[in-house]
Amino acid sequence: MGKVIEVNDVTLAFSVQCQPELEGVNLAVTEGEFVCLVGPSGCGKSTLLRLVAGVLTPDRGEIKVGGAEKAEGWSHLSFVPQDSLLLPWRTVLANVLLPFELNSGQEKKAEWRAKAQAALRLVNLDGVEQKYPHQLSGGMRQRVALARALVGEAEILLLDEPFASLDGITRSQLQLEILEIRQQKQFTGLMVTHNIFEAVFLADRVVVMGEKPGRMLGEVGIDLPYPRQLKLISTPEFAALVGTVQDFLEKGGSADEA
């Protein structure tokens, strides 16, 4: 299978005086793969995600998304931010319709609507189409953000700590939903998280990053079988994988991060 995201020897510094944010970073994600980036806060993992999304350009190195160095339009790529970032003046439905409005030349309202409703069903949201974001709970808002990312049938999903601001129970609910959606829809995922358990639970492969400067410390293939259930986390295999990731982080010299 082809490589969908390629990051080759990328270096980025926000200012000349400081240490570079990222130095000599390499990463490749193949089609259909779900990769989690873990690392201490400030290691530049979110920056790496923004580079892949195309809103930042590297000082050195190259980034290829979907095979091309700079694909025209990024409609095949969608983004799930940490704090849902819904437009507060739009209803849930209108928020999910936004990617269509921004990218399509002609209006196909009925078709869009059906797709948006399907996306909302996919994330288990029913009967909230006409509600405004502030009327929803944090978990529901994050589901809407997920639906917005899935609605356009994007091939690549970038997730920037999508569950970081949720409570524990909602968080594991959404983790299970992500796994379920992966069974139903074909997409390549790159997700940033600082939660090692989350990373091992969700990913096909966990890439470990270190800080100062942001760099790759190593990667761990997660060969746990699908479908994955919550009880997986209490198995010795799971614990062993978490331990391996932990080891990489500790060798990276950031022992204060757990």
* Structure letter (DSSP) for residue 20: P
Check binding of 47 to another protein (CB under 8 A): no
Which residues 106-125 are close enough to bind another protein by CB under 8 A?
none
Check binding of 130 to another protein (CB under 8 A): no
Both tokens of 223, joined, read 């060969």
Check binding of 24 to another protein (CB under 8 A): no
CA distance 142 to 124: 12
Check binding of 89 to another protein (CB under 8 A): yes
Q: Which of 3, 60, 64, 90 binds another protein (CB under 8 A)?
A: 90
Stretch that binds another protein, among 7-15, 30-38, 52-60, 245-253 (CB under 8 A): 52-60
Q: Which of 34, 74, 112, 187 binds another protein (CB under 8 A)?
A: 74
Check binding of 18 to another protein (CB under 8 A): no
Q: Which of 3, 50, 64, 205 binds another protein (CB under 8 A)?
A: 50
Q: How far is the CB of 109 from another protein (least distance, A)?
A: 16
Q: Are 117 and 129 contacting, i.e. CB atoms less than 8 angstroms apart?
A: yes
Residues in the chain: 258
Tell me how crowded residue 105 is: count the other CB atoms within 10 A of its CB.
Answer: 5
* Structure letter (DSSP) for residue 209: E
Check binding of 137 to another protein (CB under 8 A): no
Q: How far is the CB of 183 from another protein (least distance, A)?
A: 26
The count of residues interacting with another protein (CB under 8 A) is 26
Distances (CA, A) of 121 to 18, 148, 156, 172, 174: 46, 12, 20, 19, 14
Q: Are 143 and 84 contacting, i.e. CB atoms less than 8 angstroms apart?
A: no
Check binding of 127 to another protein (CB under 8 A): no
Stretch that binds another protein, among 62-70, 82-90, 186-194, 231-239 (CB under 8 A): 82-90
Percentages helix, strand, coil for the chain, rounded to the nearest 5? Answer: 35, 25, 40
User: What 3-state DSSP class applies to 100?
Assistant: helix
Check binding of 99 to another protein (CB under 8 A): yes
Check binding of 103 to another protein (CB under 8 A): yes
Kindly provide the residue ranges of all beta strands, DSSP E only, lying in 72-170, ordered along the sequence.
Answer: 77-80, 156-160
Write out the residues near another protein by the rule CB under 8 A: 50, 53-55, 73-75, 77-79, 81, 83, 85, 87-91, 98-99, 101-103, 132, 134-135
